[in-house]
Structure 1
């Protein structure tokens, strides 16, 4: 019991929320440069319907209070991702998410972003596509916080 608690404390220190915000920024920037980023609800849903097995992460901003339509869309998207074992990373700002995704001229910001696997890399012997160190940190964070409720929200840096 004591060893498990000690390991949890070590992991919590590893998952410093400000470092995670920079990790999300780096992952989105890298995915955008490599054309592995899909931004916006309709394009993301279309891709998820077609190839959910090729999705590495779904990044969702917190919904604004009073925006019930967006809240329902987010809940349904999270449920779909959960059913398909797609990690959902929740962030604090749709405006910053839009900026990181390279989306401009939107009134409400980016409603979601999907990061796909890098299919140009050869799969591992377990038939999994390798993740970058930043992506692995975020995958570990997701696994570590999977049973937390409410889900943790990562603050994005400016």
Structure 2
């Protein structure tokens, strides 16, 4: 994915109030399709080997006073930015853990969605197509690159 000039019409069409459900749907579908990697260390290990296979990175807001996780998250965001991987921030590590099927007591401090190996590009230079919902989240990321503070998506129950 290449970050270029943002199409204002595309950005205006994104309904931000429905993005939480979109994130939940993308995570649930990726989990069923075995394309979901949850946890900071497994995500970093996967990114280290094959960053081109990552479609989206989902990160919850870090808790105040958790300096270690905050530093790891900032470095992960920078890595994703350098590799053109959209980073979606969400409001709850517990809800993210629920969607990923991980213990909600510990929470989930990172989830990445990888490309579907069954989907193949038509030519070697083409990218593997994203699902419509993944495309909406990628567009949202591109449309909000210059927003500060970065928008945080509220996850539904």
Could you state the TM-score of these two structures normalised by the residue count of structure 1? 0.89
SS at match of 1:49: helix
Aligned-residue offset at 1:8: 4.0
SS at match of 1:66: coil
SS at match of 2:59: strand
Residue in structure 1 matched with residue 74 of structure 2 by the alignment: 75
SS at match of 2:55: strand
Residue in structure 1 matched with residue 112 of structure 2 by the alignment: 114
Could you state the TM-score of these two structures normalised by the residue count of structure 2? 0.90
In structure 2, C-alpha distance between the alignment counterparts of 1:153 and 1:145, rounded to whole Å: 11
CA contact (8 A) 2:77 2:87 kept: yes
CA RMSD for the aligned pairs?
1.5
Structure 2, unmatched stretches of 5+, are 1-6
SS at match of 2:75: helix
**Which structure has the highest helix share of the two?**
1
In structure 1, C-alpha distance between the alignment counterparts of 2:120 and 2:60, rounded to whole Å: 32
User: How do residues 131-142 of structure 1 correspond to structure 2 at under 5 angstroms?
Assistant: 131-142=130-141
SS at match of 1:123: coil
Q: Which string of whole-angstrom CA distances, capped at 9 and with x for unpartnered residues, describes residues 45-91 of structure 1?
A: 00000000000011000001111111111101001111111110000
Aligned-residue offset at 1:108: 3.2
Please say if 1:155 is aligned against 2:154. Answer: yes
CA contact (8 A) 2:11 2:139 kept: no
Larger Rg over CA atoms = 1
